[in-house]
Amino acid sequence: MIRTRFFLAFMLCSAWTGLHAAEPAGKNDAAWLKEKGTLIFADTFDREEDGNGLKAIGNGWESATADRVPAIKQADLEKGILKITNAPAAGHQPHIHHEAGFQNGAALIRFKFPGLSKSEDLTFGFVDRECLTSHAGHLAYALVRPTGITLSDYKTGVMDLANRKRSQEAVAATGKVPADLAELYKTKQVTVPWKADEKWHDLLLVVEGDEMRATLDGKVIATHKSAGFSHPMKRWVSILAGSTAWVDEVKVWKVNP
């Protein structure tokens, strides 16, 4: 168990092994979506949840970890805000997802760290459970951490089944990820500095071909190219939180070729 937790901690922290600034994209993604995008989902969470179960959030959302701790509320809807709380007893961060369904497109999340923990973070991105080469279908994410934001290709990086198996076996035997995989993982992500606060922020995450771009509060802050981003179907938009995070709005668009 300790070795497994070590590996999971490495995967979550591996973004920091190759810290470097991305070249900001010149594209105005808000204008691009307005011109070519089709809004396929939106939610402002103006309702009450129905219990603690898989579908308790409503409006098509599912909390994949709810059944692990059925007596603990990991997702609370209050005054139009989805309040996410990690329950350590679940053995996994809250994983909340909704159907998306696009190759090229975008998702926006309006989020806030309420300041209830020093370790507040948010992971927002895309999953395809029908992808058989990536653990649990993890594809691409933006990881919002207290001191930075990382764009990461999970499909061909840390969640690629062969990579993951080798990493886990090496960590169990030596406590270290193989050097060649550590170098590979660095190429699968880009991190830009950001200082967390307790304000509301809009994070727009765009995927176009093999490129993913992040716009924070109207400003492009990071862009990265990696093979996994071009996966042909982002079936889910997913939210995970390491401790506590609040969400006020989510929107998803598709962009046809």
- Is 0.95 surpassed by the pTM of this model? no
Task: Indicate the Cα dihedral angle 212, 92, 243, 105, nearest 10°.
Answer: 20
Q: Domain spanning 19-154+190-255 has what CATH number?
A: 2.60.120.200
3-state SS assignment for residue 4: helix
Per-residue pLDDT of the chain (257 residues; tens, 9 = 90+): 434 443 444 444 444 434 444 445 467 999 999 999 999 999 999 999 988 999 999 999 999 888 899 888 899 999 999 999 999 888 889 999 999 999 999 999 999 999 999 889 999 999 999 999 999 999 999 999 999 999 999 999 999 999 999 999 999 999 999 999 999 999 999 999 999 999 999 999 999 999 999 999 999 999 999 999 999 999 999 999 999 999 999 999 999 87
Rounded Cα distance, 40 and 19, in Å: 34
Half-sphere CA count of 28, side-chain side, radius 13 A: 4
| Domain residue limits, the chain | 19-154+190-255
Phi-psi region of 241 (alpha: psi -120 to 50; beta: other; left: phi over 0): beta
pLDDT at 26 (0 to 100): 60
pLDDT at 71 (0 to 100): 87
